[in-house]
Structure 1
Amino acid sequence: MTNVRVTYDGEANAAYVYLNHPEVRQRVAHTYPCDPAAVGGMINLDFDKDGRLVGIEVLDAGTKLPQYLLDAAERLDT
């Protein structure tokens, strides 16, 4: 099983799911915002220069992500 890094800021109610290798720092070249009406909130998909998905930003994360994932996430608001 692959470990995925997830950060969560409870004050902002925002989470970020990193899909790149933990030792590789990748730059975001393009952000694709998902239609907020279609997904019931704001979700941004981040891609690198080669078009690979490297991260997912989830706003209003408390209603969009499972609680176990938020509980396990690295906290940014402490």
Structure 2
Amino acid sequence: MADVRVTYDKTANAAYVYLTDPQVRRKVSRMYPCDPVEVGGMINLDFDEEGRLIGVEVLAASSKLPEYLLDSAERLDTEGP
């Protein structure tokens, strides 16, 4: 199973799921926002220059992602796990 890097900022209630090799930095060239009405919040899909999905930004993350995932995510706020 592949390791997926997830970061979470509890203060902003925002998470980011990285879908690329953690050793390789990919530049976001296009962001596609999902309809907030359809998903009940804001979710943005980030694509690289070759059209590959490289990450997913989830706002209102605590209501969209499982608690275990947020608990194990790398924290970006000062609170820590």
- 2:45 matched residue in structure 1: 45
Calculate the aligned-residue CA RMSD, in Å. 0.3
- 2:19 matched residue in structure 1: 19
Residues in 2 aligned to 1:30 and 1:77: alpha-carbon distance in whole angstroms: 26
Unaligned runs of 5+ in 2: none
Q: Percent identity?
A: 71
Structure 1 residue 5, shift from structure 2 partner: 0.3
| Moved segments of 4+, more than 4 Å | none
Residues in 2 aligned to 1:24 and 1:75: alpha-carbon distance in whole angstroms: 20
Structure 1 residue 55, shift from structure 2 partner: 0.3
Q: How high is the TM-score relative to the length of structure 2?
A: 0.96
Unaligned runs of 5+ in 1: none
Structure 1 residue 15, shift from structure 2 partner: 0.1
Work out whether 1:31 is the aligned partner of 2:27: no
SS at match of 1:21: coil
Work out whether 1:69 is the aligned partner of 2:63: no
Structure 1 residue 34, shift from structure 2 partner: 0.1
Q: How high is the TM-score relative to the length of structure 1?
A: 0.99
- 1:54 matched residue in structure 2: 54
Structure 1 residue 57, shift from structure 2 partner: 0.1
